[in-house]
Amino acid sequence: MPRVRKVQNKKEKAPAEKVRVLITGAKIQSRIKEMARQIRKDFAGEPLHLVSVLKGGVFFLTDLARNIPGQVSFDFIAVASYGQNTHSSGQVRLTRDLDSSIEGKTVIVVEDILDTGMTLQYLLRLFQQRKPKHLRVAVLLDKPGRRLAAVHADYIGFSIPNEFVVGYGLDYSERYRNLPYVGVLSLGGKERETV
């Protein structure tokens, strides 16, 4: 009887994704407290209207809002970018508008990260047309090395190198948003470069 050789069809394991901690949750929280204090100082006694960009900016907004004393309201907007390498295409469109008017309000746009700047450039143009009393920008993270649009953020949590980060609202294919820290994502040992 011929010997039958079993061919093992070993499935190749997908390389494991890893996240290397870049900014701990504790550091994020203490920096947000400082930012909140500064914002309140700059607009002492004024009602503030925080506008966050879904979904990444939500964690930052809620922590920031809880640390700003006095009158604070908030609203949400959502945008989508066309194509794959969306951030650099500059094609941003609105998928969900604000619930209420911002006319005459002191508006702080709250974003997770300022990367190429295309998203914020689009939003700031849109909001400026709606005649707010003041329009300011607060970002948790800034990647200055990636800027394509001349966007200025008034409040910056941390400047970070040009690496793809996840956590604290930031995602990779909708995952990792729930991490309480910000980390650099690597795919199978290789850190993912931003496109």
Residue 116 found at the interface with ligand IMP (CB under 6 A)? yes
Per CB under 5 A, contacts with Mg ion among 107-146 are 112
142 in catalytic set: no
Q: Would you say 32 or 120 has its CB closer to ligand IMP?
A: 120
Q: Which does 117 bind (CB under 5 to 8 A by kind): ligand IMP, Mg ion, none?
A: ligand IMP
Binding flag, residue 112, ligand IMP (CB under 6 A): yes
Residue 87 contact, options Mg ion, ligand IMP, none, Cβ 5-8 Å cut-off depending on partner type: ligand IMP
- What DSSP line would sit under 103-158, residue for residue? TT-EEEEEEEEESSSHHHHHHHHHHHTT--SEEEEEEEEE-GGG--S----SEEEE
**Which of these, 49, 70, 46, 74, lies nearest to 62 by C-alpha position?**
74
149: exposed, middle or buried (Cβ count in 10 Å: 0-12, 13-18, 19+): middle
What whole-number distance in Å separates Cα of residue 163 and Cα of residue 191?
8
Residue among 109, 170, 179, 182 that touches ligand IMP (CB under 6 A): 170
Task: Report the interface residues with Mg ion, using CB under 5 A.
Answer: 56, 112
Task: Report the interface residues with ligand IMP, using CB under 6 A.
Answer: 56, 87, 111-119, 164-166, 170, 194
